[in-house]
Amino acid sequence: MPKFTAYDGTELAYHLKGAGEPLICLPGGPTRAAAYYGTLGGLDAHHRLVLLDLRGTGGSAEPADPATCRWDRQTDDIEALREHLRLDRVHLLAHSASGNLATLYAARHPARVRSLTLISPGTRAGSEEPGTEADGVFDPAATRAALALLDAPVLLLTAPHDNGARPARAAELAALFPYEGKAAAHHPWLDDPGAFVRTVRAFLAPDILALDADGVRLAYRTWGEETAPPVVLAHGRGGSGADWTAIAERLAATRRVYAPDFGGHGLSDWPGAYGFERLRNELSAFIRGLGLDSVDVIGHSMGGVAAILLAAEEPELVDRLVVEDPPPPFPPDPPRPLTRREEGVLAFDWPVVPSIDAELNAPDPAWGERLAAIEAPTLVIGGGPASHIPQEQLARLAGRIPGALLVTIDAGHLIHETRPEEFLAALAEFGI
């Protein structure tokens, strides 16, 4: 168990778990050691957890002066730990009562905080309400002024009873922080570890953004200049926006590229209920949530079907449409066989698969009927005989969309991965 010496000479202990960028974790209460965090639901697979035992808990020594256990004095312990770890700025996570400690540290050392994650925080720092634990710590106005200098994102995970029983606390925190809020259990890493890890990973990743789309938090990646013409890339089933990285990096030379993770995939929420219309709604809400009037949309497989439905239902949102080897919205003959679940941990929510399989075997007849309503210039790219998608059905699909072009690249189903140069050439010839 590694240890370091605080400024007043008290020996403090911390625990290291996992690998990756360090995340300093403060336990929830002045008498609680950090061991209850465990691995934070598996977050240690993605970050180096630095679990600090506060003064007088776990492996840390009792201080000679009990007054140094006050939250304002323990901010010095975090600063000493930061120096000990030789970190210029820190990612800081705090649970329950230690939210107060984290808030006070952020107010005192705003330039040292890279991000702040508060889980069901008990903080009242900056409150003007008399009799709170902030009395005598910082002047409330000074605390708020200091936090205004915090140039770091804040993730606030509040349990339902936090907002229900103490709604003033959530409002108080909202006034203190420009935070990104999300409902969670009081111990979310225990009650729903997958959702907790996905949320925190997306929040801490410098290249991941998030927005609410049709009630689902969608994580997404961007490339290119913000002022460049936008293009949205929709991934296939079981994938994520990261699957488009090689293509996105090339398109970013002239375009602003957005690649979301659909619900049930990657680092987005996994709502548990899935289907093509939900995917279409997410794609629509994503584009509108970005504040874009209309975009070019490129969709692979499942994402291609979502893009087709979007272009048919909301033609004003889609300038140009490219669909890469999508399963056509016509009943297959024979029906698609049921997909068997792979062994091990999946990077997507398994119920996506049976839901999509069922809709592909019995698609809504209106989907095929609405193809004629697509106004956007459309390019259909088929993967040729090596693809499991019937290519004659793709020809039928292209024939039902007014003016659609059909191009075949003999690459199988994963065209943009297997033959990226030919895929990009097809996009360029189409005007993307």
**Helix (H), strand (E) at residue 76:** helix 71-85
Give the chain's end-to-end CA distance (angstroms, integer).
56
- Local structure of residue 134 (DSSP, 8 states): T
Helix (H, G, I), strand (E, B) or coil at 48: strand
pLDDT at 132: 37
Relative to beta strand 154-158, strand 113-119 is parallel
Question: Of all helices (H) and strands (E), which one includes residue 85?
Answer: helix 71-85
**Predicted pLDDT of residue 214:** 79
Contact (Cβ atoms closer than 8 angstroms) between residue 404 and residue 398: yes
Output the pTM of the full model. Answer: 0.86
Cα distance between residue 83 and residue 80, in whole Å:
5
Q: Are 117 and 140 in contact (CB under 8 A)?
A: no
pLDDT of the residue at 126: 40
What is the distance between the alpha carbons of residues 189 and 201, in angstroms, rounded to a whole number?
12
- Fold of the domain built from segment(s) 209-430: Rossmann fold (3.40.50)
Question: CA 17, 22, 27, 31: dihedral to nearest 10 degrees?
Answer: 80
Pull the structure tokens for residue 311: 């272009």
- 2: helix, strand or coil: coil
User: Could you tell me whether strands 113-119 and 90-95 are parallel, antiparallel, or unpaired per DSSP bridges?
Assistant: parallel
Whether 100 and 71 have beta carbons less than 8 Å apart is answered as yes
Residue range(s) of every CATH 3.40.50.1820 domain in the chain: 3-204, 209-430
Q: Which residues contact 305 (CB under 8 A, 6 or more apart)?
A: 276, 279, 299, 323, 326, 327, 329
Distance CA 3, CA 242 (A): 39
Residues whose CB is less than 8 angstroms from the CB of residue 424 and which lie 6 or more positions away in sequence, other chains included: 247, 250, 251
The burial class, CB within 10 Å (0-12 / 13-18 / 19+), for 350 is middle
List 182's β-bridge partners, or say none.
157
**Residue 238 one-letter amino acid:** G
pLDDT along the chain (432 residues), means of 10: 95 97 90 93 97 95 85 90 98 90 89 92 48 41 70 81 50 61 77 93 93 91 97 98 98 98 96 96 97 96 98 98 96 85 90 96 95 97 96 96 98 98 98 96
Question: What residue spans of 272-313 are helical by DSSP H?
Answer: 276-289, 302-313
Q: Tell whether domain 3-204 is in CATH 3.40.50.1820.
A: yes
Whole-number pLDDT of residue 161: 54
Query: Residues 189, 196: contact at Cβ < 8 Å?
Result: yes
SS3 letters for 212-279? EECCEEEEEEEECCCCCCEEEEECCCCCCHHHHHHHHHHHCCCCEEEEECCCCECCCCCCCCCCHHHH
The candidate with the shortest Cα–Cα distance to 413, out of 250, 237, 262, 233, is 237
Q: What angle do CA 414, 290, 150 make, to 5 degrees?
A: 115
Q: How far apart are CA 408 and CA 418, in angstroms?
A: 13
Kindly give, in sequence order, each residue whose CB lies less than 8 Å from that of residue 327, ignoring residues fewer than 6 positions away: 301, 302, 305, 360, 389
Q: What is the number of residues in the chain?
A: 432
C-beta neighbour count of 286 within 10 angstroms: 24
